[in-house]
Structures are given as structure tokens and as C-alpha cells.
Amino acid sequence: MTDSVNQQIVYLNGSYLPMMESQISTQDRGFLFGDGVYEVIPVYQGKLFRFDAHIQRLKNSLQATSITNPFNDSEWLEMLENLVAKHDWQDQYIYLQVTRGVQMQRDHLPADCLTPTIYAYTNPLKPVVDNIIQNGIKVVSLDDIRWLRCDIKATTLLPNVMMKLAAKSQGADDAILITREGNISEGTASNTFIVKDGNLITPPNSNEILPGITRMVIESIAAEHNIPMIEKNITLDDLNSADEIWLSSSTKEALPVTQLNGQAVGSGKPGALWLQMREHYQQHKQKFIESQL
């Protein structure tokens, strides 16, 4: 057991070893082509949150990219639980990556029968800082410059990195992305929600967004608490006139956006429905921690 980031233990291709000792081949297709997929899974008090949904999404990403799934579901769970147990942090988040593997001759066409490279490590999961809870975050809207398979959780994240940099250069914390058709897709690493006249609205799942697990959790909490929830396309005009805007992801849960393109969103403070959702979300996590699941 360790509690220092410097002594982090990682899983690489069948072994648990110190991060400083983990090495992969320069001919790994993940390194050369970004030819791989990944997952990020939150862990509350040692328990993997929504493991089934995360592993199903991983399987979908592997299948869509024709990368061999090296494990069955219980093998994935066992490996990840072992990794978590090697760290003392109460809450953690696992980063898990599978690449197509090592191919000595660089070729866009993958060779047959490659052995996937499996890498996982875990980090302490810290609560969102108070300043964000009190004041929210600033975003800008940017053209979504990504490809048409954003439903695959691919390691190839160069457009996301470029858009995050563009947001930062405009003094914002993040960006909300606008598709070529003029609809909101999502954030650079999150799904998007707006609140309008008491309705919670999010774009439908499609090839233009990642089917977020947190988005799914928020939907189920909304249903449980009779919060009207609609899946429909959101335009930039809708975004501009929203009462509230949220971004959701596994490590940040739902974050309130209080400034869009330099203008206040609603009152300029985190909104009433977000506060309510935050409360419900914490209760939902607590129930999960206490459950036998």
C-alpha cells in the first residue's frame, strides 16, 4: 500500500510495477498512431462506480476500432480492483488504456494478430475546489474540429488538446463545441447540459458526442426526482439564452458554467437546479458506497 504519487503502482501487460519502472516500446501503435482507446473510472471508497457501464463502453470502443479485447469482464474487474487496493487514497480515478499493440514495421494497416498493450494507473480523486462550487467556470464556444466518431473513446485527442489551448488563450477554463450543423456537441472532455424554463436539456447520443457515464447518472437522478429532462439538439442561440449551463464528467461530476463568451449565464452564479443536482448526486454516491453492489 502506498499513499504517495511518487510511489504509484501501475498495471502494464500483466504486471503491477512502480510507475517509474513502467516502459513501453517505441513501436507501440498507441505511440505512433494514437491507435488505442481508453476509459476513466471513478472509485469511491474502494468501489468502482458504474463499472458495468464503463466496461461496456470500453468494449464498444474496442469493437468499433477492431482492437482485440484482451480480458473478459471479471478479469477486467479483478485487475482494476487489485490496482486500486495497492493505493491508500479513499477516492480514486482509474485511467485505463488499451492500444492495438507493438508492430515493428510502421504501417497504417495493422498486422494480423497483434497483442494489445494494456496499461492502467490510478490517481487520488479530489473533490472539486470550493471556488468552482461557489463561482462556476468560464467557457467559450468553439467550432468542433473533431472527427465523426466521437462516440469512440479514442486516445487520439489532438483536436481536444488544441481546443482546450484555444479556450485557455481566450481566458476561459474550457470550451463548448459547435458542430458543423450549428448544434452543441459537448465540452473538450465533458458532456453539456442546459437548463431552460425548468427543463434539463442535453444533446442526444450520436456519433458527435461521447456517451458519458456521468450524463447517464444525471439522467437517472433526474428521472428519480421528477426533474423534467429532454434530449434534443441545442443551438448556440439556445446556449446563449440558457438559464444554466453544466458540464459533466466522471472526475468532475456536474460543473456549473457561469460565463459563456464573456457574458454571464443566468445570474452569473451556479444555478438553483445545479445546486439541487449536486445534492442528489452526493446522495447517489453515498447510497452506492453503502450498497452491497
Residues 25-64 binding ligand PLP (CB under 6 A) are 40
Nearer to ligand PLP, 139 or 213 (CB): 213
Q: Which of 8, 99, 183, 190 binds ligand PLP (CB under 6 A)?
A: 190
Residue 277 gets which letter from DSSP? H
Does the annotation mark 232 as catalytic?
A: no
> Annotated catalytic residue: which of 47, 59, 126, 153?
153
Q: Which residues of 86-108 are buried (b: 16+ CB within 10 A; e: fewer)?
A: ebebebbbbebbbbbbbbeeeee
**92 near ligand PLP, rule: CB under 6 A:** no
Residue 125 gets which letter from DSSP? -
**191 near ligand PLP, rule: CB under 6 A:** yes
Determine the distance from the C-alpha atom of residue 249 to the mean position of all C-alpha atoms in its chain, rounded to a whole number: 5
Q: Which of 194, 213, 242, 245 binds ligand PLP (CB under 6 A)?
A: 213
DSSP string, 56-91: HHHHHHHHHHT----S-HHHHHHHHHHHHHTB--SE
Minimal distance, residue 2 CB to ligand PLP, in Å: 26
Nearer to ligand PLP, 185 or 259 (CB): 185
Nearer to ligand PLP, 213 or 260 (CB): 213
Residues 122-151 binding ligand PLP (CB under 6 A) are none
- Tell me the site size for ligand PLP, rule CB under 6 A: 13
**202 near ligand PLP, rule: CB under 6 A:** no
**152 near ligand PLP, rule: CB under 6 A:** no
Residues 230-289 binding ligand PLP (CB under 6 A) are 248-250
174 and 187 Cβ atoms separated by less than 8 Å = yes
DSSP string, 240-269: HT-SEEEEEETTTEEEEEEEETTEE-TTSS
Dihedral Cα 218, 223, 228, 234, nearest 10 deg: 40
Question: Where do the DSSP E strands lie in 137-213?
Answer: 137-143, 174-178, 184-187, 191-196, 199-202
**103 near ligand PLP, rule: CB under 6 A:** no
Dihedral Cα 216, 221, 222, 224, nearest 10 deg: 130
Q: Which one of 95-103, 121-129, 166-174, 183-191 is the stretch in contact with ligand PLP (CB under 6 A)?
A: 183-191
Angle at CA of residue 77, ends 72 and 81, nearest 5°: 155
Q: Which of 212, 256, 266, 271 binds ligand PLP (CB under 6 A)?
A: 212
Residues in touch with ligand PLP (CB under 6 A): 40, 186, 189-191, 210, 212-215, 248-250
- Please identify every residue annotated as catalytic: 153
